[in-house]
Amino acid sequence: MSALVAVAGATGRIGRRVTGLLVDAGTPVRALGRDPEKLAALPAADTRTASYDDAGAMWAALDGVGTLFLVSAHEGPGRVRTHATAVDAAVAAGVRRIVYLSYLNAAPHATFTYARDHWHTEQHIRSTGVAFTFLRDSTYQADLAAMTSPEGVLRGPAGDGRVGAVTHDDIADSATAVLLATGHEHDSARYDLTGPEALSFAEVAAALGRASGRTVTYVPETRDEAYASRSVYGAPDWEVEGWVTSYEAVAVGEMDDVSDDVRTLTGHPPQSFDDFLAAHPRSYRHLLPH
């Protein structure tokens, strides 16, 4: 199998990190993305412009690649079809292994609508017969900070549920460890990538309060209240449903998993939310006085 690793979605928050780690490890890397200017800023010398839904461009970009790291596409009603196009192009180009960045507890009837897309994508990858590894990550710790309003309110229908949120760095480290493996130890494996603890949204708010030095509160919402409070953004129905159901998945216990897979893959423990906030004050700068 070719040693060349392609990172699809290389200019995103995970792909950019993984590309850099692979380059640092001396692994031949081909970075794929839609924006040539962003690709040019990456450390990889081999870059190709391609969109997941362009089968011809993906096939050309993946020619000679042995392993594909497939970061999921931006959310949208046609995302499963977009993923299938990229996967089929990879198989046609001769890719022998796909490492897919999926989502925790992906299932056909998952509460979080986007998690359903990930399950269907996993099934399509399985159907191709290529070797695969699924990395199912939890909510991003950075997103928990971003979900809090400048007024210091974290609002949503999460009830008293808990979430084992994880950092982008821990996901990238885990993905890189799998991609650097030269044997078959990760074939057909699924890893759940979480933080070291599952926090309630009240505890998330308290951690943000400690970090920012101001009062941050969690305000539980009903489903109707959640849809109403988000209607002001003018987003399409499918997107608002994704926002709301991401909280509801927490409420029903689909996001409270805590796994040791980050440590197993990387050799280091996953970062806690408090430690993340201490290391990344920019993540909550909207909460700080201007």
What secondary structure does DSSP assign to 187-238, as a single string? TTEEEEE--SS-EEHHHHHHHHHHHHTS--EEEE--HHHHHHHHGGG---HH
Provide the pLDDT for residue 2. 78
What single string gives the DSSP state of each residue in 96-145? -EEEEEEETT--TT-SSHHHHHHHHHHHHHHHH--EEEEEEE--BHHHHH
Provide the pLDDT for residue 114. 96
| Domain parsing of the chain, residue ranges | 5-138+167-193
Neighbours of 252 (CB within 10 A): 15
- Rounded mean pLDDT of 32-43? 95
pLDDT classification of 290: cutoffs 50, 70, 90:
low
Does the pLDDT of residue 1 top 80, yes or no?
A: no
- Rounded mean pLDDT of 133-147? 97
Share of the chain above pLDDT 90, in %: 94
Does the pLDDT of residue 158 top 70, yes or no?
A: yes
Does the pLDDT of residue 249 top 80, yes or no?
A: yes
Share of the chain above pLDDT 70, in %: 99
Provide the pLDDT for residue 44. 82
| 273 SS3 class | helix
Check residue 133 and give left, alpha or beta (phi > 0: left; psi -120 to 50: alpha): beta
Residue found by looking up tokens 């359903």 in the block = 116
Provide the pLDDT for residue 17. 98
| 6 SS3 class | strand
Does the pLDDT of residue 242 top 90, yes or no?
A: yes
Question: 5-138+167-193: CATH homologous superfamily?
Answer: NAD(P)-binding Rossmann-like Domain (3.40.50.720)
Does the pLDDT of residue 218 top 70, yes or no?
A: yes
Provide the pLDDT for residue 89. 98
pLDDT, tens only, 69-94: 999 998 999 999 999 999 999 999 99
- Rounded mean pLDDT of 189-199? 98
What single string gives the DSSP state of each residue in 79-98? HHHHHHHHHHHHHHHT--EE
Higher pLDDT: 83 or 183? It is 83
Sign of CA dihedral 31, 34, 35, 38: negative
Q: Are 101 and 135 in contact (CB under 8 A)?
A: yes
